[in-house]
Structure 1
Amino acid sequence: MRIFVAGASGAIGRHLVPQLVAHGHEVVGTTRSASRTGAVRALGAEPAVVDALDPDSVADAVAKAAPEVVVHQLTALSGPPNFRRAKQMAAATNRLRTEGTDHLLAAARAVGVRTFVAQSNAMWMERAGARVADENGRIEPNPPADAAEAVAALRHLEDAVTGITWAEGIALRYGAFYGPGTGIETAPGSVMADLIRGRKFPVVGGGTGVWSLVHIADAASATVAAIEKGRRGVYHVADDEPEPIGVWLPELARALGAPPPRRLPAWLVRLVAGPGPVDMMTRAPGISSEKAKRELGWTLRYPSRRQGFAEGLG
């Protein structure tokens, strides 16, 4: 198939494009900067410089590519996380998940795309639901005020994509990425890894928030499976071991050769960073990916984070 990947130079795009090419697909990959077209071409894609927030730029690029499939992997989440500026850091990604999604959907419909796959995430599954949620679970309806815009943007993306009737609209709720290109890796200068080594990424409160993780290569292979076999709706994409942060973060620190993470009281982090980060670190549920494995035939290279931390961080 001819596939248009919006966000080809991002963390997952850098793994997704080569996998699509290896499956025999022809890929057009976008980047925001002309300076990165060479990197996109090196992945095996035809590069296109696109401003995802400009509807004419998006429409022109999609029309020129004439794809059968559009894949929306656009975010603006780069650089080290900063709890003090979490809302500001999320603002650009919120626009990509709302305006950017709408522009891509309009452009895709205009050229007769038959499958549209978009990146969502599992960090804001409903807090009052199951501790490990399947796709019947919903996004948190009452998030903390400082997270409300980000959660609304996720909801907009999922509703807009899965609500289309002219193509298969698929939203992928990914777990938290780790591995090459994600910042949680052994490469020098990896932002999250450096925070963990510097004991600047703490366990908050009791560390009771359940985060599902997924190696970036596994996230990419699930996306390929969704493109080739997926049907309208939501699929969860994560490994088989959702566990509380207080369990897996010390394991990750050991794998990175770092000292154990600090433990900070929730009231202190709430005072400094706001209620949203505390909620995410103490109340988030994990997800089950059984639907993706069953319906898409997806298999994980790293079904256990322990295997992934030992073999997949480099």
Structure 2
Amino acid sequence: MRVLLAGANGAIGRLLVPLLLNAGHDVVGSSRSDAGVAAIRAAGADAVRLDVFDRASTLRALAATRPEAVIHQLTALGERRFDQNARIRREGTRNLVDGSLKAGAGRIVAQSISWVYAAGEAPATEDEPLDLAREGLVGPAMALESAAAEFERHVVLRYGLLYGPGTWYFPGAWAAGQLRAGQLTAGAAVSSFVHVADAAVAALLALDWPDGVVNVVDDEPAPAREWVPVLASALGEPAPEVTAGLSAGLSAGASADASVGREGWERGACNAKARALGWAPDWPTWRTGFPALAGAS
């Protein structure tokens, strides 16, 4: 299958290129820069220069590429540019989808997030409602997912918090700095993680999955008071005191419900559907995945 991988130089994209090639796909990776295009070609794939904020050039690039399938892995999260990330989800996805459909693509796999669900006690499943009150976060994700659903075949992957090379949770990256500065709290807020390599495998498999939304998270949603000390040890940083407060990674500026010590939406997500579809993560829990980061760089 001829596959356009949008975001081929990102944390997931870099790992996904060889997976797609090894599976026999004809891969075209996209990048905004000449250096990025060169890196994609060095990895063995074809490449196209693509800025999804430039609608006219995006439509031309897709018309020339003529993919059968699109894998949308574009974000601005590596630089923590949340305004740009929201723009990618709304405007960039719109242009990518329009160009791909006009070019004849019949399917899409698109990256979304798993912390969009409304409040609840148990880890969220895919059939539960989203938290529409958090428009700044959930609105752009909904725009991306709605655009993806315009394809005849579409799978939306709601990833957990990514850890591993190229992510916030890796030696020398954002979380390490937050721990060093005492800014990452160890409270009751529950998160779901997924190793970036396992996320890439899910994107490959999703090309053959039935239409719909799938949570791609590990087996063990956990409160920050459990995972933060393990992460700190793995990154060689000081661990904060365990508190009843919120996880700074997800809840900056939020106020806790004192009765539970977490926001209702800070509940993690369930991966039963992904596992039923055949996804089997190499790192089924952050308890083993985080320690494997020790010494990596």
Q: Would you call these one fold, judging by a TM-score over 0.5?
A: yes
1:311 is aligned to 292
Aligned mates of 2:191, 2:226 — CA distance in 1 = 10
Aligned mates of 1:212, 1:64 — CA distance in 2 = 39
- 1:97 aligns to what SS in structure 2? helix
2:139 is aligned to 152
Q: Say if 2:18 and 2:43, in contact at 8 Å, map to a contact too.
A: yes
1:4 is aligned to 4
Aligned mates of 1:238, 1:17 — CA distance in 2 = 21
1:146-170 CA distance string (max 9 Å, x none): xx222210111112222x2x52121
TM-score by length of 2: 0.89
1:84 is aligned to none
Q: Do the aligned partners of residues 312 and 231 (structure 1) sit closer, same or farther apart at CA in structure 2, a change above 3 Å counting?
A: farther
1:221 is aligned to 201
Q: Do the aligned partners of residues 70 and 288 (structure 1) sit closer, same or farther apart at CA in structure 2, a change above 3 Å counting?
A: same
Say whether 1:231 aligns with 2:214: no
Residue 61 of structure 1 and its aligned partner are, at CA, apart by 1.5
Residue 130 of structure 1 and its aligned partner are, at CA, apart by 4.2
Aligned mates of 2:224, 2:128 — CA distance in 1 = 21
1:45 is aligned to 45
2:224 is aligned to 245
2:240 is aligned to 261
1:223-250 CA distance string (max 9 Å, x none): 10001x2121101101101111121111
Q: Do the aligned partners of residues 266 and 252 (structure 1) sit closer, same or farther apart at CA in structure 2, a change above 3 Å counting?
A: closer
Question: What count of residue pairs does the alignment treat as equivalent?
Answer: 287
Aligned mates of 1:232, 1:103 — CA distance in 2 = 21
1:283-303 CA distance string (max 9 Å, x none): 2111111111112x1111011
**1:119 aligned residue (108, 111, 135):** 111
1:87-113 CA distance string (max 9 Å, x none): xx3111111101111111111111221
Aligned mates of 1:262, 1:7 — CA distance in 2 = 38
Residue 175 of structure 1 and its aligned partner are, at CA, apart by 0.2
Aligned mates of 1:113, 1:312 — CA distance in 2 = 38
Mapping for residues 72-83 of structure 1, pairs under 5 Å: 72-79=72-79
Aligned mates of 1:77, 1:137 — CA distance in 2 = 25
1:132 is aligned to 123
Instruction: Show structure 2 runs of 5+ residues with no match.
Output: none
- 1:286 aligns to what SS in structure 2? coil
Aligned mates of 1:92, 1:173 — CA distance in 2 = 19
Q: Do the aligned partners of residues 312 and 42 (structure 1) sit closer, same or farther apart at CA in structure 2, a change above 3 Å counting?
A: farther
Say whether 1:185 aligns with 2:173: no
Aligned mates of 2:132, 2:235 — CA distance in 1 = 36
- 1:234 aligns to what SS in structure 2? strand
Q: Which amino acid aligns with 1:33?
A: S
1:86 is aligned to none
- When you count helix as a share of all residues, which structure comes out higher? 1
Q: Say if 1:196 and 1:253, in contact at 8 Å, map to a contact too.
A: yes
Taking only aligned residues, the RMSD between alpha carbons, in angstroms, comes to 2.3
Residue 172 of structure 1 and its aligned partner are, at CA, apart by 0.6
Residue 312 of structure 1 and its aligned partner are, at CA, apart by 4.7
Aligned mates of 1:312, 1:22 — CA distance in 2 = 26
Q: Which amino acid aligns with 2:175?
A: M
Q: Say if 1:201 and 1:262, in contact at 8 Å, map to a contact too.
A: no
1:97 is aligned to 89
1:255-281 CA distance string (max 9 Å, x none): 2222112567859x8xx95338x79x9
- 1:282 aligns to what SS in structure 2? coil
Aligned mates of 1:57, 1:264 — CA distance in 2 = 50
Point out 4+ residue stretches in structure 1 off by more than 6 angstroms.
none
Q: Say if 1:236 and 1:292, in contact at 8 Å, map to a contact too.
A: yes
Q: Do the aligned partners of residues 275 and 183 (structure 1) sit closer, same or farther apart at CA in structure 2, a change above 3 Å counting?
A: closer
Percent identity (aligned): 38
Aligned mates of 1:43, 1:202 — CA distance in 2 = 39
Instruction: Show structure 1 runs of 5+ residues with no match.
Output: 82-88
Q: Do the aligned partners of residues 294 and 257 (structure 1) sit closer, same or farther apart at CA in structure 2, a change above 3 Å counting?
A: same
Q: Which amino acid aligns with 1:193?
A: A
- 1:12 aligns to what SS in structure 2? helix
Q: Say if 1:197 and 1:253, in contact at 8 Å, map to a contact too.
A: no
TM-score by length of 1: 0.84
Q: Say if 1:197 and 1:257, in contact at 8 Å, map to a contact too.
A: no
2:262 is aligned to 282
Q: Do the aligned partners of residues 262 and 65 (structure 1) sit closer, same or farther apart at CA in structure 2, a change above 3 Å counting?
A: farther
1:66 is aligned to 66
